[in-house]
Amino acid sequence: MTHSGQIAEYLATPYASGAVSTAFPAETARPYVTIAIPTYNRAALLKGCIASALAQTYPHFEVLVSNNASPDDTAQILDQFSDARLRVITQETNIGLLPNWNACLANARGDYIIFVSDDDRISPALLERCVALIDQHPQLPIVVTLSNLHAASLGQTRPPRASRTLATGVRDGTAILNEFLTDQITVNMCGVVMRTALLRERGGIPLDLPHTADVAAWAPLLLLGKAGLVNEACATYTYHDDSETARLGVERLLRDGRKVADLIAHTAETYVQDTQLRKSIQLKAWRCFARRGLITLTDFRRSGAGMLDMLSMAWHFRRDLQGVSLQAILRFVAVSLCPPSLAARLRRSRRGTSEQLA
């Protein structure tokens, strides 16, 4: 079944996928925003995620958790909450990561939705900042906020890159997308609010892009007209070395990157009327994911891959890696020529020096 078909099936029977253990009382007003938390087997992290969601200063929201048949203490953690704004659906069997996201989308009651993974956190003012922009331009397709990046293995959090040219406000969506594609802003799914009906109409979260499904869901919405930008950190995205995405093979990572670049380019072909602007967006999309492809290959080499294996992979995807800057290519060559064992020692040395200086 396609992801569009799956969404339609969920919408036809909203709670067929699981039991609702907590629900809004009948007299409670319909929420304007759904904070969707798909979760699996992360009870220790889930509690903090729900707490950050419930701490929003904006009042008209719901928190929807889809428990993907977690075998750990997730159910017990959920039972600790008695807040009427929290709803829980429980999958009878593990339906997979991205289908669980689509289960959240199908069951959302809000006009807008934001997906927050169980290991991510959102700031108390996130919804308030986003809704303030939507009030300026009703039916806004999307509002993008910036996100910190937390490396779980290092216990370190890095602040986001903030735009030097775009202030917080309602902007042309292509301008915001341009900032993302040129690495001028740090955006992750946990900081993006989207119009629920529009995301459903577009088929929900694509199941065939496990590495880039999040970007494939939100980035094309920026090409539909006006969009909101909150040019400050309103969320924290957590990266785990053992995450489901991290376990994907390098070939899959490279292929998915090219596919999402092609998706952005195709959407621009449909919605961007200005020829010069359309070609600029398409070129920047391909270059963006070519740069990310080189980073993927660099990580592949650092993880212990032999030089021949890495170069063979680069040659296989050579078309997808075109258009990157000379600086990026030189950095890639330098890392490729450096033996992984030596690179690891250099990284440990730099980290030790940084800790001493701190």
Tokens describing residue 336: 């490729």
Q: What is the pLDDT of residue 26?
A: 39
Q: What is the pLDDT of residues 151-206, one digit of tens each?
A: 877 888 999 999 999 999 999 999 999 999 999 999 999 999 999 999 999 999 99
Q: Shortest CA distance to 58 belongs to which of 117, 138, 112?
A: 112
Give residue 147's pLDDT band: very low, low, confident or very high (50, 70, 90).
Answer: very high
- The whole-angstrom separation of Cα 226 and Cα 49 is 30
Q: What share of the chain is helix, strand, coil (3-state, %, to 5)?
A: 50, 20, 35
The DSSP bridge partners found for residue 149 are 158, 237
Q: Are residues 191 and 263 in the same domain?
A: no
Domain boundary pick from 239, 271, 292: 239
Give residue 1's pLDDT band: very low, low, confident or very high (50, 70, 90).
Answer: very low
Let me know if residue 232 belongs to a domain: yes
How many domains, in total, are found in the chain?
Answer: 2
Let me know if residue 297 belongs to a domain: yes
Q: Are residues 235 and 332 in the same domain?
A: no
256 or 171: whose pLDDT is higher?
A: 171
Domain boundary pick from 239, 258, 293: 239
277 or 314: whose pLDDT is higher?
A: 277
SS3 221: helix
Where is average pLDDT lowest: 3-12, 261-270, 301-310, 333-342? 3-12
CATH number of the domain enclosing 121: 3.90.550.10
Q: Are residues 80 and 184 in the same domain?
A: yes
Give residue 24's pLDDT band: very low, low, confident or very high (50, 70, 90).
Answer: very low
Let me know if residue 244 belongs to a domain: no
Q: What is the pLDDT of residues 92-125, one digit of tens each?
A: 999 999 999 999 999 999 999 999 999 999 999 9
- The whole-angstrom separation of Cα 254 and Cα 293 is 6
Q: Are residues 179 and 88 in the same domain?
A: yes
Q: Are residues 149 and 203 in the same domain?
A: yes
312 or 257: whose pLDDT is higher?
A: 257
305 or 211: whose pLDDT is higher?
A: 211
Q: Are residues 256 and 131 in the same domain?
A: no
Domain that holds residue 148: 3-239
Task: Tokens 């989308």: give the residue.
Answer: 105
Q: Are residues 189 and 258 in the same domain?
A: no
pLDDT at 330 over 80: no
Q: Give me the half-sphere count of Cα atoms (radius 13 Å) on the Cβ side of residue 70.
A: 25
Give residue 218's pLDDT band: very low, low, confident or very high (50, 70, 90).
Answer: very high
Q: Are residues 69 and 168 in the same domain?
A: yes
Q: Are residues 282 and 212 in the same domain?
A: no
Q: What is the pLDDT of residue 220?
A: 97
pLDDT at 358 over 60: no
Q: What is the pLDDT of residue 355?
A: 40
Which residue intervals of the chain are DSSP H helices? 3-12, 43-54, 74-79, 97-107, 126-136, 173-181, 196-201, 213-218, 250-271, 275-302, 307-316, 326-337, 340-357
Give residue 334's pLDDT band: very low, low, confident or very high (50, 70, 90).
Answer: low
Q: Are residues 215 and 327 in the same domain?
A: no
- The answer to whether 301 touches 337, Cβ cutoff 8 Å, is no
